[in-house]
Amino acid sequence: MKGSGVIALPDPPALTFRASPAPASAQNTVSSKIPHHFCRVINAEKSEFNEDQAACCQISVRRREPGLEEDEEWLILCSTQFLTGHYWALFDGHGGPDAAIIASNYLHYCIKQKLEEIVGGITEAQPPMHLSGRCVCDSDPQFVEEKHIHAADLVVGALENAFQECDEVIGQEMEATNQSGGCTALAALYFQGKLYVANAGDSRAILVLKDSIVPMSSEFTPESERQRIQHLAFVFPKLLDGEFTRFEFPRRLKGDDVGHKVLYRDYFMEGWGYKTVEKADLKYPLVHGHGKQARLLGTLAVSRGLGDHQLKVIDTNIEVKPFLSCIPKVNVFDFALHDIKEDDVLIMATDGLWDVLCNDEVAHVVRSFLAENRTDPQRFLELAKCLVCRARGKKRGHQWMLDDSHEASYDDISVFVIPLHNREED
């Protein structure tokens, strides 16, 4: 992803950091005041276009009294009580920054809206079967109990629905304005004592705690979602328009392979088998390549995200969107179950960081930096800078290199560092 630089660092000789508006949208009841939480998005300045976007804001959800029916709208509007959440998000655009920009402006609004729709259900210890609170069936609370439905499940559902709604908004907006492209979306929501991390794409969030690292997301790529993607092509072969093969092979096949048995996988296989190669297997594979080179339909490096409604495989009529999912996987961290220490933080970053630094390396930087900078009031901000600079590397001749002389990240790099201690003071 490419980053919109929100800070102006002092320019080192060979570098410039672009300064741009802070990633916060204050609209309606959404406030941008989040004291003591820091975000830094920095463009590594190696790519021509800047495709990363970030957002952070406070989300205020208007409470409604349980028992209030839908049509008593005036009573709901009169309410002055709010539940407050904090929101941070990163969007890594591809095919231009348009989708990422719309997502950074709308997703928090969709989340606020979806939370307001279910707020009557989360103010009780256990969500009621009926949102209105009325009990049609005496054993309703037992049915809800039996299914283990808690308030947190409603927030998860709201996030899932918000991503879907945001994707629809992006589709409409981009069709109306003739824009194109898509983006990944990684959103964190601190709400009612819990941290929710919703991810669709290849950004990543981890908690760096005193004694452990807690992964809060996993990546959705053509490789990690191979079986879902291949299954869709099995069910709807027309989606491949005769141009691609559903099967996975370790490499692209050649004429010489025809008639011989080679390694392959179909949609139902986690293991590998041998298949006699037919001419049709010489087509380009639906999912192909490995690691950062893996592609869906030879086109996209991610399998979930927002946008891409109009995207077609180059020189064909094959649509990519049917294979993409806009639904995030949501992970929940309950602060009530953990003793949070002063230097515990949530790190959110786009693939520009994670491509060159693993979780352990990031955690090592985080812990040593914070231990060495106990008193600096800007230390979380400086840590974000430090992580970005690590991944960006140093210019040696025409190349950017890491300290360990591996190649540095040539992608945009965006990092949020969010301290978890003293949350209630915020």
- Chain residues binding a copy of itself by CB under 8 A are 70, 117-118, 121, 127, 129-132, 134, 136-137, 139-140, 143-144, 146-147, 149, 152-161, 164, 235, 250-251, 254, 256-257, 260-263, 265, 268-274, 290-291, 325, 327, 329-330
Helical axes 359-372 vs 379-392, angle rounded to 10°: 140
Q: Which is nearer to a copy of itself, 148 or 406 (CB)?
A: 148
For the record, the structure tokens of 237 come out as: 């072969």
22 and 408 Cβ atoms separated by less than 8 Å? no
Residues 230, 246 contacting (CB under 8 angstroms): yes
Q: Decide if 59 contacts 10 (C-beta within 8 A).
A: no
Give the containing element (helix H, strand E) for 421: none
Q: Which is nearer to a copy of itself, 49 or 143 (CB)?
A: 143
> CA–CA separation, 163 vs 116, rounded Å?
15
CB 125 within 8 A of CB 133: no
Q: Minimum distance from CB of 143 to a copy of itself (Å)?
A: 4
Smallest distance, a copy of itself to C-beta of residue 191, A: 13
Nearer to a copy of itself, 12 or 215 (CB): 215
Nearest distance in Å: CB 381, a copy of itself: 33
The whole-angstrom separation of Cα 362 and Cα 208 is: 9
Q: Judged by CB, which is closer to a copy of itself: 138, or 211? A: 138
As measured in angstroms, the least distance from the Cβ of 370 to a copy of itself is 33
**Secondary structure (DSSP) of 202-249:** S-EEEEE-SS-EEE------TTTTHHHHHHHHHH-GGGGTTTEES-B-
The bridge status of strand 284-285 relative to strand 244-245 is parallel
CB of 139 to a copy of itself, least distance (A): 8
Smallest gap from Cβ 40 to a copy of itself, in A, equals: 31
In 3D space, the residue among 207, 229, 228 whose CA is nearest the CA of residue 216 turns out to be: 207
In whole angstroms, the minimum distance from the beta carbon of 249 to a copy of itself comes to 8
Query: Within a 13 Å sphere around the CA of 274, how many CA atoms are in the beta-carbon half?
Result: 7
User: Can you spell out the DSSP letters for 181-212?
Assistant: -EEEEEEEEEETTEEEEEEESS-EEEEE-SS-
In the complex, the smallest distance separating the C-beta of residue 422 from a copy of itself, rounded to whole angstroms, is 28
Nearer to a copy of itself, 209 or 253 (CB): 253
Q: Write down the least CB distance from residue 327 to a copy of itself, Å.
A: 5
Shortest Å, Cβ 128 to a copy of itself = 8
Cβ closest to a copy of itself, residue 54 vs residue 197: 197
CB nearer to a copy of itself: pick between 262 and 381: 262
DSSP 66-112: TT--TT-HHHHHH---EEEEEEEEEEEEESSSHHHHHHHHHHHHHHH
Between 271 and 397, name the residue whose CB sits nearer to a copy of itself: 271
Cβ proximity to a copy of itself, 232 vs 302, nearer residue? 232
CA distances from 114 to 63, 109, 277, 298, 322 (A): 13, 9, 50, 35, 25
Nearer of residues 146 and 424 to a copy of itself, judged by Cβ: 146
